[in-house]
Structure 1
Amino acid sequence: MPTEISGGDRDATRYLIDEALGYVYPGALRAAASLGVADLLAGGPLTVAELAGRTEVHEDGLRRVLRVLATRGVFEELPDGRFALTPTGQSLRSDVPLSARPAVLMLTDTTLWRPAGEVELSLRQGGSVFEDLFGMSFFDYIARNQQTAAAFHTGMAAFSDQENEVIAASYDFPGSGVVADVGGGHGGFLLEILRRRPGLDGVLMDEEHVVAGHRLGTEEVKGRWRLAPGDFFTEVPPGADVYVLKRILHDWDDDGCVTILRNCRRAMVPGGRILVVDAVIPPGNEPHQAKAVDMMLMTAFPGRERTEPEFARLLAAAGLRIARIVPTGTVVSIIEAVEQ
């Protein structure tokens, strides 16, 4: 007798097939971001012919891409065939506060896209497949490719811009002393901290070519910061009261993280604190951005997202302990660490 197929079976199969097609959407999103379609629609709806002419692409293909993005609420196809921006699509413009465009271009770059398609290889051999695909590690690759490095650092800045103010407001930073942002990129988070604490001074540490693009040159924090180009695996600037590691540890394996943490512990003043600003993977089956990012990290980086017990073990190996975990209302939390 043939096996009876229920409606639930059909629904499950349809669901999984739709999920398997999910990779089409970020491909379309990247194309729209790269072509600047949202910028072109800022003044109002346009026909596909008008958009194709201004972006110098094929009209029929662009219509098909925009149709996919309209199903996800980025654009809207109007009854007359023109396309318009939605409130969500406004964030894809390059000229708006908190533009998502640089982050979208970073997250869909080939350096992250290709490894993500090789999850099975990652599982079979264990760890990142980046070197298999590109012949070197991720960070070696961006060190040799200026265009990719620029996209990565600009994208990370945009990724952080939408959360920096909220995170800085969620923690009671001291009213005086020195805060060192280790691996702080262009300094967006440090800028928010200094804005909120006029008595604090700041140190921005990252590689020389990264800190060269800093954003600290504003009048409101003038004279209260300095740059410290360097390698946090070797040493960090000494004498700070607070060391911030924002979205840094998740890039590295446990041994690398312990080295960074030990360097911070040795450098901080007595009674100092280290703030690890990273996602803490929650237990259970609920969706959480960190679970997806963790798989991306698995395929492209030596690092990982971590649970609270994993952070506790990592810190203990560096002679530190968790004093408290501060939720921020964003994907990341602030793990406050002190000496054991």
Structure 2
Amino acid sequence: MTSIGISTLRRLANIINEAIDDIERVYAAADTPLSSLDAPFNPADPAEALLQNPIVEGATLNIMAAASQLSATVASPAASALNAAQAYHISACLRAASEMNVVEVLREAGPAGLHAREIAAPSKTDPLLLARILRLLAIHNIFREVTPNVFTNNRISSVLDKGKPSKVLFENRNERLTGTSGFAALVEFSADHNMKGVAMLADIMLHPKEGELGFNRAYRTTGSLWDWLHRPENVYQMQRFDIGSCSHTFRGFNWSELPTGGVLVDVGGGIGHISLAIAQKNPGLRVVVQDLEDTIKDSKIVSRSLYKPPVNKTGNLNIQYWKENLPSHVESGMVDFQVHDFYTPQPVPNAAVFMLRYIMHDWSDELVVKILRHLRDAAQPTTKLVVVDKIVVSAARVPDSKKEAIPGAARPSAPAPLLPNWGVGKAEVYYYDLTASTRLCTH
């Protein structure tokens, strides 16, 4: 008689096999091979575009969730718990590799790779330590160890490529992230400041102080993350945060349905990189980018190093960025930059849409209500509200009757015996949630 445990293993294995069948069918129909893990990432490869195919996306989620659950089922629970307790090493090593520009050095070396001595030479770091760092990443499928102590890039490591010659990166550290996709900046910031704040979770829970969050405990400051980032001595950290924020994209709203001449208000939009991307595809939209004064107006510190060509000390970073990427909107007056605190009344009364991108998660419920009420007061009957953020779903199965009680709450569930929220397949959402909890603003 087959035990329940063995039956579960078979069901998980079947989910993986069925998902592989689905992926094979899509790639076979396109006459395109699946990208190799051992080869560097190539965004122009047609195989990469197929990852956005809904069938492939669904199959990938099932494989990630089932593979993780399968491993957890058969592995020693003590080993699993200890590995989880030491997972911080992965974050620390990934940041170290990016800070030492390892990916770019290896890109220039080619597929044969380089010995750790040669990889460490440009940064003048310890080659033995660097080898151990890269080996830990390699066993987690980030980088590849070709022969002992000889490493090369693979598909995962190469997404950290800043796209510049390594010599340029080492010559001017302050501008190493300037003009990049922002992904390396996002990884570095996450593995640096975010990790340090989250490391304080138990401390602030066991020994709480009024208004103190993980970020405050880690950096010994009473101000918010935003206050800390805007200190003159933290210019580089602020640049890295801003550039990393530019790597996020989103889908789900049909911007083409908005009327020509309609106003998109990017509330708390920074330099407006997302609204710029929207305007590039929908040139009839007028855009108003709103943020605090030091982001909108006072670009003296960051404008000279964030984007090229450099602007003078009185230049406006936002306008410069838009001139480089969508000059027609600047020349025609279709984009405006407003200094605005979203705790005060919204000054744009005729918006077609208010967009709040990754704003809500950083503020308490009371403050979110205050932000939204100001938008509602300024809204027209036809004004849309677009909130771009993460939705944290329970790992427990919820009866359909309870889902139907809240309009829009019903969401797809993973097939049993997978966790209904796809578990590790959706882990990024839960990492993001915990990161926000260490810097949640209440005042």
TM-score category (smaller protein): 0.7 to 0.9
Q: Percent identity?
A: 24
Output the amino acid matched with 1:143. Answer: H
**Conserved in 2, the CA contact under 8 Å of 1:91 and 1:99?**
no
Q: How many residues align?
A: 290
1:3 matched to which residue of 2?
none
Of 202, 213, 221 in structure 1, the residue corresponding to residue 317 of structure 2 is: 213
**Conserved in 1, the CA contact under 8 Å of 2:214 and 2:439?**
yes
* Shift of residue 101, structure 1, vs aligned partner: 0.4
* Shift of residue 271, structure 1, vs aligned partner: 2.3
1:30 matched to which residue of 2?
95
* Shift of residue 220, structure 1, vs aligned partner: 4.9
Give the 5 Å matches for 1:1-340: 11-43=76-108, 44=110, 45-79=113-147, 81-95=149-163, 98=181, 100-110=183-193, 112-124=194-206, 125=208, 128-133=213-218, 134-136=220-222, 137-144=224-231, 145-158=234-247, 160=248, 163-164=249-250, 166-167=251-252, 173-176=257-260, 177-211=262-296, 212-214=316-318, 215-217=321-323, 218-222=326-330, 223=332, 224-239=334-349, 240-284=351-395, 285=419, 286=421, 287=423, 288=426, 289-302=428-441
- Which structure has the larger Rg over C-alpha atoms? 2
* Shift of residue 46, structure 1, vs aligned partner: 1.6
**Conserved in 2, the CA contact under 8 Å of 1:175 and 1:197?**
no
1:159-218 CA distance string (max 9 Å, x none): x1xx24x456x5554032100000112212101211222221101111233234333222
* Shift of residue 72, structure 1, vs aligned partner: 1.9
Matched position secondary structure for 2:87: helix
The alpha-carbon distance between structure 1 residues 73 and 221, as it changes in their structure 2 partners (threshold 3 A), is farther
Unaligned runs of 5+ in 1: 1-7, 304-340
Matched position secondary structure for 2:264: strand
* Shift of residue 273, structure 1, vs aligned partner: 1.6
1-structure distance, mates of 2:181, 2:240 = 16
2-structure distance, mates of 1:9, 1:48 = 35
2-structure distance, mates of 1:123, 1:53 = 43
* Shift of residue 302, structure 1, vs aligned partner: 3.0
Structure 1 runs of 4+ with >6 Å offset: none
What is the Cα-based RMSD across aligned positions, in Å? Answer: 2.3
* Shift of residue 122, structure 1, vs aligned partner: 3.3
2-structure distance, mates of 1:209, 1:167 = 31
1-structure distance, mates of 2:257, 2:213 = 36
1:317 matched to which residue of 2?
none
1:311 matched to which residue of 2?
none
The alpha-carbon distance between structure 1 residues 88 and 173, as it changes in their structure 2 partners (threshold 3 A), is farther
2-structure distance, mates of 1:122, 1:114 = 13
**Conserved in 1, the CA contact under 8 Å of 2:288 and 2:338?**
yes
The alpha-carbon distance between structure 1 residues 10 and 78, as it changes in their structure 2 partners (threshold 3 A), is closer
**Conserved in 2, the CA contact under 8 Å of 1:92 and 1:99?**
no
**Conserved in 1, the CA contact under 8 Å of 2:287 and 2:335?**
yes
Q: TM-score, normalised by structure 1?
A: 0.78
**Conserved in 1, the CA contact under 8 Å of 2:256 and 2:282?**
no
Matched position secondary structure for 2:98: helix
Q: TM-score, normalised by structure 2?
A: 0.61
Unaligned runs of 5+ in 2: 1-72, 165-179, 297-315, 396-418
1:273-330 CA distance string (max 9 Å, x none): 2111111222334323222221222223237xxxxxxxxxxxxxxxxxxxxxxxxxxx
2:60 matched to which residue of 1?
none
Matched position secondary structure for 2:386: strand
* Shift of residue 77, structure 1, vs aligned partner: 0.8
**Conserved in 1, the CA contact under 8 Å of 2:199 and 2:214?**
no
